Amino acid sequence: MTLGAIGFTTPWLLAALLVLPILWIILRAVPPAPIRRRFPGVALLLGLKDDDTVSDRTPWWLLLLRMLAVAAAIVALAGPILNPRQTAETQDSGPLLIVLDASWASARDWPAKSELLDAMLAEAGRDARPVGMMRLSNAEPPVFQAAEAWRSRLSGMAPSAWAASETTMTDAANMLGSDGFETRWLSDGLDRTGRDVFLQALEDRGPVTVYESPVPIIALKPAIVEDGDIRITGLRAVAGTPRAVQVEAHGRDPSGISRVLADLTLQFQPGDLEATGLLSLPSELRARLTRFEIAGQRHAGAVTLTDDSLKRREVALIAGREDREGLELLSPLHYLEQALEPTADILEGSLLDILPANPDVVVLADVATLSVAEEEALLDWANEGGMLLRFAGPRLAASDVSRSSESPLLPVRLRAGGRTVGGAMSWGEPKQLAPFSENSPFFGLTPSPDITVSAQVMAQPDPTLSERVIAQLSDGTPLVTRKRIGAGQVVLFHITANAEWSTLPLSGVFVQMLERLAVSSTLALPDLSELQGTTWQPVQVLNGFGALNDAGTLPGVDGENFLQDPLGPELRPGIYEGPDRRLALNVLDTETVLQPATWPADVPVLGLERAPETPLGGWLLAAALALLMADIVASLALSGRLIPARATLSAILLTVMLAPQSADAQSDLTAEEKTLLAASEVVLGHILTGDPQLDQTAQAGLRGLGETLYFRTSVEPDTPVGIDLETDELSVYALLYWPITPNQPIPSAEAYAKLNTYLRTGGMILFDTRDANVAGFGASSPNGQKLQRLAASLDVPPLEPIPQDHVLTRTFYLLQDFPGRHTGRGVWVEAAPPDAEQVEGMPFRNLNDNVTPVVIGGNDWAAAWATDASGNSMFPVGRGFAGERQRELAYRFGVNLVMHVLTGNYKSDQVHVPALLDRLGQ
């Protein structure tokens, strides 16, 4: 039975409401019971009559109160439920399969989906239904098990950065088995091929309900460079009302911290599926871009990564001889300038002036001899990845460079004088280019037969020559040779850069060759032929939410697959590194069209918002109880037993107890006063998280620790201080305690700069996730995830779980465990240097000479330390004596920590004791 949004489990109990009028009459006739009082003055009262006799009946409002209480109790027992199960979900027994698209498009609504999923699982758990779960982006045969088992794994589920392809859909349809079940499909709202097959397979096995968000998805196509501007295209699935979206261009600022460098508003016109905008950025800024992202969308499709293709290369052009005025076409650099101008920034000047600017490419046109300083500088630069492009010419041909032994800055040894073919004084025709071989970077280009070479420098035949040739003439003589220098390379064109020796610089092939050499990089994607046989190694990959993560140990991808395969677990969107360059693989490519999903009419489609089934019985019972309490007070008042003075007093007491705690006195201090206070004493600081209760606990914890230090050691800390990272000076604090909550704000870049300075100059931060779950480095708890995000911009050295012989275990007390309110064992400190070794006869290694800048744990130390103003512990720890022992150990850990900060590795120096004794003369 349902009444509006409220259903009842045992509606017949409501019949008891009929008794209420009878109860009314009975209760009405019964006056409140009298009080017996001793009163000597009764002799004077004898014979006095009461004026009216009406009040021997219970007053109507008291009756109403009691009636309401009884009615509430009756209704509560009838089991009212708010928002009882919808009719669309027909079954409440039998196995249930939950299908998740789990694609990038699901990421935006993932919190809502998790909530819905949780509610469904809770419900299925109540109905004792076996539940199977299937993620289409990563399809596996469904395993039906108890809902609670799934529920515990819910927090670890995340959407993938790719979507199911047609083959995976078909595979998934084949995995379903033969048994019937009810299906609930949490769709991402996008259509894809293969969906119908899968849906049909599901419908064959039972009813299907679809849940999807009605809000259409917005995504971003890869950014393209167009006439020096960046063209950004937004895409939406449903053409609807006009809408403006904000696109943020993220990149690294000069200090290397990722931040928004520029933004752009894309305006979707009504009825349009696409919106484009042009972003014009200075090349300096453009080179630092890492990705574009639609603000507030938070899914991988709203992110497009940039690779080298966006950067304008900086090319330094250096010629061996001065330009002769007026003879531009004869200038050795003219054609290079023409070829590079549209796509690259050209630097000119002397070599030693330009190299510190770290250009991507240095072009030396007919430069024969370099000074020793120049040569060394060039070598260093090339070793770190520079590309040196050299052109031959009369000077190089005439010089002795690389004649008898190979010059480090030339790929081959050269024969004296070079050769001329097809000239007035020589035999033969000018030579043409031979087709490019397979291992040449130019493979795939077709040299036009018009290109002729009439003069060149000749390479000496050497054992290494053949592997260094990447282009040759039709008679087999090398035309372009290449040699690797460290991470960089040197490429020699055996001809001049102008049209003196050949017509190559006049042709389009010359420009393409420069592109292939990545001298100028305007190409969007390499074509298939170029990628054959190459392997692309993922460097960073996107997760479903559009965050870039380290690729870790993901395997490399073959070049062919890289271009052709759909995205999937083997080919994740991200940044890939190939032989010569980095490529970004985005979720959407330039041809993608988003198509909204359409469902057959017999499949009910529900929204993600599903009002949860709320049993109201408990609340109603509580209300009945509250009404009865009110009845007690009212009856007391009516019969005169309620003494006004006492009632007022208790009311005041209650108010005082319930009143919010007064604000922390220290928050009134200005930043300067805080700094002064902290500079004049040893002061422990805690980072203000914005959660008042947590901040109070941290304050009380450090106060308790301070008291302990005061009583037990010669450290006498002053009152601890709450620190606002944005405004306060950090250098005066010995130790910062940083409790983590999922909601605290990420500090600004300036605050991070301050924190990094603090860490580098000997400060220590104790991170506390307070969830006792840091052993797995916290990826599964919200606090742990927050910690990772907070610490991402911090200059934290490599960490390791605290080793047994770490100096923290003996700076004051000898400790092996570091419990707080929890007893998690995972406490992480800076890793020992790799060369630290256990020496025979020594209890511990000679470890690093520094104070570890961070200690990370999750044992909620502040709560264990916390004392109120009178020194009583504020939170219980453990049970009984063992708990007190644990608290004592927590204090000892705190003492050790402060001692470690203040005395450094002093206790570690005991390793030298035997040597000192030895030196003392025994």
Partner 1 sequence: MSPIAPLRAQAETEAARFPALLARAEHLAGTVLLGEHGRKRSGMGDDFWQYRPVQAGDELRHIDWRRSAKSDGQFLRQREWQIAQSVTLWVDGAASMRFSSDDAVPEKSDRARLLALAMAILLNRGGERVGLSGANLPPRRGEAQVERISMALMHEDSADYGAPETTGMLSHGRGIFLSDFLGELDPVKKALTSAADRGVRGVLYQILDPAEESFPYRGRTIFESVGGTLAHETLKASELRDRYLARLATRKDELQALCTATGWQYGLHHTSQSAQSAVLWLYNAIDGEHHR
In the complex, the residues that contact partner 1 under the rule CB under 8 A are 31-46, 48, 50-53, 55-56, 638-641
| CB closer to partner 1 out of 57 and 419 | 57
Smaller CB distance to partner 1: residue 347 or 634?
Answer: 634
Within 10 A of 520 (CB to CB), how many other CB atoms are there? 23
Least distance CB 642 / partner 1 (angstroms): 9
State the minimum distance, in angstroms, from the CB of residue 87 to partner 1.
Answer: 56
CA 418/CA 396 separation, integer angstroms:
9
Name the residue nearer to partner 1 (CB basis): 648 or 693. Answer: 648
Smallest gap, in angstroms, from Cβ of residue 820 to partner 1?
48
Q: How far is the CB of 44 from partner 1 (least distance, A)?
A: 4
- Is the separation of the CB atoms in 381 and 355 below 8 Å? yes
When the beta carbons of 53 and 714 are compared against partner 1, the nearer one is 53
Rounded Cα distance between 236 and 247, Å, is: 14
Q: Nearest distance from residue 21's CB to partner 1, in Å?
A: 26
Site of tokens 């007919």: 366
State which residue, 256 or 644, has the beta carbon closest to partner 1.
Answer: 644
10 Å CB burial of residue 859 (0-12, 13-18, 19+) is: buried
The structure tokens 């003492």 sit at 895
Nearest CB to partner 1, comparing residues 63 and 525: 63
Q: How far is the CB of 54 from partner 1 (least distance, A)?
A: 9
Q: How far is the CB of 45 from partner 1 (least distance, A)?
A: 5
Q: Which is nearer to partner 1, 622 or 632 (CB)?
A: 632
**Nearest CA to 501 among 579, 431, 403, 401?**
431
Residue with smaller CB distance to partner 1, 29 or 869: 29
Pairing mode of beta strands 764-768, 854-857: parallel
64's CB contacts (< 8 A; 6+ apart) are none
- Minimum distance of partner 1 from residue 61's CB (angstroms): 16
Of 57 and 231, which CB lies nearer to partner 1 in the complex structure?
Answer: 57
Q: Which residue, 27 or 377, is less far from partner 1 as judged by CB?
A: 27
Closest separation in Å from C-beta 860 to partner 1: 47
Q: Using the minimum distance from each CB to partner 1, give the nearer residue, 616 or 634.
A: 634
User: What's the closest the beta carbon of residue 636 comes to partner 1, in angstroms?
Assistant: 9
Residue 58 or residue 456: which is nearer to partner 1 going by CB?
Answer: 58
Cα distance between residue 179 and residue 397, in whole Å: 82
Contacts of 464 (CB under 8 A, 6+ apart): none
Distance CA 694, CA 862 (A): 9
Which is closer to partner 1, CB of 35 or CB of 657?
A: 35
Shortest Cβ 640–partner 1 spacing (Å)? 3
Our CB check for partner 1 shows the closer of 166 and 631 to be: 631
List beta partners, residue 419: 456
Nearer to partner 1 by Cβ, of 47 and 921: the residue is 47
Q: Measured between alpha carbons, how far is 17 from 24 in angstroms, rounded to an integer?
A: 12
Least CB distance from residue 47 to partner 1, whole Å?
8
- For helices 195-203 and 166-174, what crossing angle results, to 10°? 20
813 burial level (CB within 10 Å; 0-12, 13-18, 19+):
middle
Tokens representing residue 420 in the block: 């001329």
Least distance in Å: CB of 42 to partner 1?
4
Residue type, 377: A
- Alpha-carbon distance of 635 to 31, in angstroms, equals 10
| Nearest CB to partner 1, comparing residues 40 and 871 | 40
DSSP 445-512: ----TT--B-EE--BPP-TTHHHHEEEEBTTS-EEEEEEEETTEEEEEESS-SSTTTBSGGGSHHHHH
Residues 591 and 595: their CA atoms lie apart, in Å, by 13
For the residues of 713-746, what is the DSSP string, one character each? SS------EEE-TTTS--TT-SEEEEE--TTSPP
Phi-psi region of 460 (alpha: psi -120 to 50; beta: other; left: phi over 0): beta
What is d(CA 42, CA 587) in angstroms, rounded to the nearest whole number? 94
Distances (CA, A) of 374 to 361, 483, 491, 552: 15, 19, 18, 39
Structure tokens at 741: 């909550």
Buried b vs exposed e over 428-460: b needs ≥16 C-beta within 10 Å? eebbebeebeeebbbbbbebeeebbbbbbbbbe
CA distance 507 to 492: 18
Closest CB to partner 1 among residues 65, 832: 65
98: closest CA among 202, 168, 191, 201?
A: 202
CB of residue 641 to partner 1, shortest distance in Å: 7
Q: What is Dmax (Cα atoms) for the chain?
A: 155
Name the minimum Å distance from CB 53 to partner 1.
Answer: 7
Query: Smallest distance from the beta carbon of 31 to partner 1, in angstroms?
Result: 7
The residue behind tokens 């349809």 is 173
In degrees and rounded to multiples of 5, residue 272 shows phi and psi of -95, 145
Burial class (CB in 10 A: 0-12, 13-18, 19+), 406: middle
Q: Which of 858, 851, 833 is nearest to 896 (CA)?
A: 851
Least Å distance between CB 67 and partner 1? 22
Kindly state the smallest distance separating residue 36's Cβ from partner 1, in Å: 5
| Cβ closest to partner 1, residue 32 vs residue 704 | 32
- The answer to whether 587 and 104 are in contact (CB under 8 A) is yes
